[in-house]
Amino acid sequence: MKRLLSILLSIAIVAGTATAQTSKEEQEAFKFADKLIKKMTLREKLGQMQQFVPNSASVVTGPDGETRDIETYIREGCVGSFLNIKDPKELNRLQKIAVEESRLGIPLIFGFDIIHGCRIIFPENLAASCSWNIEAIERSAQIAAAESAALGIHWTFSPMCDISADPRWSRVSEGAGEDPYLGAKIAAAMIRGYQGDDLSSEKTIAACVKHFAAYGAPQAGRDYHTVDMSEVMFRDRYLPPYRAAVEAGAVTAMSSFNDFMGVPASGNKWLLYDLLRKELGFTGFVVSDYNAVHEMVAHGVAADGKEAAEKAMKAYLNMDMVDGDYISYGEALVKEGRISERLIDQLCREVLAVKYRLGLFDDPFKYGREGEKATYRPENLQFARKAAAESMVLLKNDGTLPLKDVQKIALIGPFADSPLDQTGAWHGWRQASRVVTTLAGMQERFGKENVLYAKGCESHKHIKGGIEEAVATAQKADVVLLTLGLGRNYSGEARSLTDISIPQPQKELLDALLKTGRKVVILLATGRPMTIGEEVEKANAVLLTWHSGTMGGPAIADIVSGDENPSGHLTLTFPRSVGQIPIHYNAKSTGRPQDPAKPTKSYLSNYKDSPNTPLFPFGYGLSYTQFEYSDLKVLTPVVEIGGEVEISVKVKNVGKYDGTDVAQLYVRDIVAETTRPLRELKGFERFSLKAGEERVLQFKIATSELAYCHIDLSFKEEAGDFKVWVGEDSNATLEGKFTIR
């Protein structure tokens, strides 16, 4: 009976997928795959569902520690994909074996973590999101795809669509911050950038929706940790970016490491089939995260690799990354009747279809032909410089910036001349020699003779005589630019922290420099928000430069010189202390909301030792000029469900500099079926105005954008009263109201 139920379940899954809506291009790909599958042995099908990472000895390692020769495995059709090969010649060699020496000549697909650039490294994703420039984010993905394809990569594991409000979690650097509306816009833009209009082009690569799902909400901010939330919260706040990426046409997805509703994602049928495929309409293939199939044993839901493989296949996970459980146990699972070969056919079919859509069957060697000549193109380097400048956020300024009439600049700190740190985590195929550091950028802009450099200290330790040298250097200058923060090894996977403050050696360096009497500008290099209240209070100005990428140095020089006016706005809240985390702007009221006039009053939802408010809120960012918002008008105060709310606001540049700002529109549903956030971002516009210029901005909100998850888990809008605010951050005070009926 158990075997019969297993087979019936497999048939039901396949039948359900067959009814999914597919394009003509997808239908053609599936027809091709179906014909090919009829020629394949069971082992060859399982081989297409297996991805490996070759080590330096050119072998792959199975779950039992057994090593297998790569070339033999390819010839036998036991490998569908390889991960993390960086040598274009090796990529080409392995592909040649696959298409010329295996029985059916099925090409390999080569994947790599191209997260924020390939050769040209753009600012880390969290930094890029602070530009609120959707077109630029799409363009950066397009450039990354073109360089990757030119070097032989077919597939990137990006974009990361995980919403997170916890800066302790190291992977916040890879995402778009805490807001689902903005995150959805960015996810879709990156899919378009990587995949373009023609997936078979030699300049595009396959994108991957990751990490499905809710990976950004681990308990205690600890990577790989348990995720536990209501389905209402999941659908409201975490699902929108994944949905947007699927709707934008992503052809692959990745299961997350965490469990969800008690089931690890790689074996979670509700996530990977019911939600991703049936509800969201995903028609590509799903790959596990690194070793995540076998890790179900450690999770305690599988006794061994064989049972882990069974659970993953039944959950509709197409490709096993690295651990080898599919190829090791797949044949036995079919022979024992625990998995039907028909299910294997379906899982393999979707992998083959993506390879077909990439054009690999027509020309397995078209990727990698352009090689290095397609990288570091001058126009793309200039774009990267502009993108880096737009990502930077001015957090404080007493008028010290921009630097005017300054003859000598002291550039000090551990990140002033550190190309590796500047490229951050997941730095693609970056070459340190091509990174233009802050020191190089400043010297180019202000002249070598005018930029005096001293390192002062390492990120987390002192340098003998370092502080003394830094002080002596500062005393020769008119102003100090001090690079503080956290380097690349404190950003990205497996870098979660309980302490996100400035390391002690850097604090001591700052204090010593302040004693010189020189004005101090902090250039904050980091991949996450930090608790920097003390440093902000002490410094004359603070510019959040992030890990700014290949052209970060010139971009910093552009900002501090005033050649570019800072325009970035935060997409992840900066807490006052770790004790406030998780902290985010779209919190709910609770039944006992804090009284702003009495922030520590008893029996309200507040702290006794700290304000509830953050150090810097979502959406925050200063400029060298000032923008005045006025005359907010709700042009459609009453609308029917299915209609659009129209809002206008006047903005004027009342300062002395030309500048760019981001107008942000927030909404609150006053009375709803479930508790709603105090504010939700529902529109934004990045605009530029010359000094003295004014403009009227127009916003339109479809009532469908005000939908939310109801008690019965339906997702829909409803009639009611709403408040709306427009301004420069999530604390905007310009207010209006409208009604949906």
- Measured CA to CA, the distance from residue 658 to residue 650 in angstroms comes to 17
CATH number of 387-561, picked from 3.30.450.40, 3.30.360.10, 3.40.718.10, 3.40.50.1700 = 3.40.50.1700
CATH number of 625-740: 2.60.40.10
Task: Express each pLDDT in 388-417 by its tens digit.
Answer: 999 999 999 999 999 988 889 999 999 999
In this prediction, residues 666-681 reach a mean pLDDT of 97
Kindly state the average pLDDT of the residues 520-547.
98
CA angle 320, 325, 331 (to 5 degrees): 110
What is the residue extent of each domain of the chain? 2-371, 387-561, 625-740
Tell me the angle at which helices 305-314 and 325-335 cross, rounded to the nearest 10 degrees: 80
How far apart CA 477 and CA 410 sit, in angstroms, is 6
- CB of 110 closer than 8 Å to CB of 82: yes
From the centroid of its chain, how far is CA 315?
A: 25
| Residue 620 in tokens | 């925050």
Among 436, 423, 434, CA closest to 546: 423
Please report, rounded to a whole number, the percentage of residues in the chain having pLDDT higher than 70: 96
Provide the pLDDT for residue 223.
Answer: 97
Helix (H) or strand (E) holding 626: none
Please give the average per-residue pLDDT across 417-440, as a whole number.
Answer: 97
Is the domain spanning 2-371 CATH 3.90.220.20? The answer is no
For residue 62, the model assigns a pLDDT of 53
Beta bridge partners of 721: 739
Q: Which pLDDT does position 715 carry in this prediction?
A: 96
Beta strand extents in 465-605 (DSSP E only): 479-485, 519-525, 541-544
Q: What is the pLDDT of residue 12?
A: 42
Q: What is the pLDDT of residues 553-596, one digit of tens each?
A: 999 999 999 999 999 999 999 999 999 999 999 999 999 998 88
pLDDT category at 19 given cuts 50, 70, 90 is very low
Give the pLDDT mean for 300-329. Answer: 97
- State the average pLDDT over residues 320-328: 94
- Note if 511 is an active site residue: no
Burial grade of 715 (CB within 10 A; 0-12, 13-18, 19 or more): middle
Would you say 238 and 260 are in contact if contact means Cβ atoms under 8 Å apart?
Answer: no
372 CB contacts (<8 Å, ≥6 apart)?
A: 119, 150, 151
Instruction: State the pLDDT at residue 70.
Output: 87
Which residues are bridge partners to 525 per DSSP?
A: 485
Residue 720: both structure tokens together: 């009611």
Cβ atoms of 710 and 674 within 8 Å: the answer is: yes
Whether the Cβ atoms of residue 195 and residue 206 lie closer than 8 Å to each other: yes
**Is pLDDT at 466 greater than 50 in this prediction?**
yes
User: What confidence category does residue 14 fall into, taking pLDDT thresholds of 50, 70 and 90?
Assistant: very low
Higher pLDDT, 23 or 358: 358
The tens digit of pLDDT for each residue in 678-692 reads 999 999 999 999 999
CB atoms within 10 A of CB 301: 16
What are the tokens at 208?
């991957």
DSSP β-bridge partners for residue 210:
160
Q: How many CB atoms are closer than 10 A to CB 650? A: 16
Whether 61 shows a pLDDT value over 70: the answer reads: no
Q: What is the pLDDT of residue 425?
A: 95
Between CA 556 and CA 480, with CA 466 as vertex, the angle to 5 degrees is: 35
The tens digit of pLDDT for each residue in 115-124 reads 999 999 999 9
pLDDT of amino acid 600 = 76
pLDDT single digits (tens) 699-709: 999 999 999 99
- Alpha helices by DSSP H, listed for 517-628, are 533-538, 552-561
Q: What pTM value is reported for the model? A: 0.95
Rounded mean pLDDT, 207-236: 97
Confidence label for 15 from pLDDT (cuts 50, 70 and 90)? very low
For residues 311-334, average pLDDT: 96
Q: In this predicted structure, what is the pLDDT of residue 602? A: 86
Q: Give yes or no for a contact between 457 and 417, defined as CB atoms under 8 angstroms apart.
A: no
Checking if the pLDDT of 6 tops 90, the result is no
Q: Within a 13 Å sphere around the CA of 424, how many CA atoms are in the beta-carbon half?
A: 37
**Of 179, 259, 289, 421, which one is the catalytic site residue?**
289
pLDDT digits (tens, 9 = 90+) for 148-178: 999 999 999 999 999 999 999 999 999 999 9
Whether residue 297 has pLDDT greater than 70? yes
Please name every residue paired with 110 in a beta bridge, in sequence order, or none if there are none.
82
Give the CA angle between residues 371, 373, 374 to the nearest 5°. Answer: 80
CA 735 – CA 726 distance, rounded (Å): 7
The percentage of the chain sitting over the pLDDT mark of 90, rounded to a whole number, equals 92
The predicted structure's pLDDT at residue 254: 98
Task: State yes or no: pLDDT of 18 exceeds 50.
Answer: no
Q: Looking at residues 423-449, what average pLDDT do you find?
A: 97
Average pLDDT value over all residues in the chain: 95
Confidence (pLDDT) at 7: 40
Signed CA dihedral, 425, 427, 430, 435: sign only: negative
Residue among 600, 533, 587, 542 at smallest CA distance from 731: 587
What's 570-595 look like in SS3?
CCCCECCCHHHCCCCCCCECCCCCCE
Taking only the tens place, the pLDDT of each residue in 70-103 is 899 999 999 999 999 999 999 999 999 999 999 9
Can you give the pLDDT at residue 305? 96
Tell me, what's the pLDDT at 405?
83
| 3-class DSSP assignment, residue 100 | helix
How would residue 60 be classed by pLDDT, with cut points 50, 70 and 90? Answer: low
For Cα atoms 495, 498, 502, give the angle at the middle one, nearest 5 degrees: 85
pLDDT number for residue 23: 87
Model confidence pLDDT, tens digit, residues 608-650: 899 999 999 999 999 999 999 999 999 999 999 999 999 999 9
Kindly tell me if the per-residue pLDDT of 3 is higher than 70.
no
- Res 420 pLDDT > 90: yes
Residue type, 152: G
How far apart, in whole angstroms, are the C-alpha atoms of residue 411 and residue 283? 52
Spatial distance between the Cα atoms of 27 and 34, rounded to a whole number of angstroms: 10
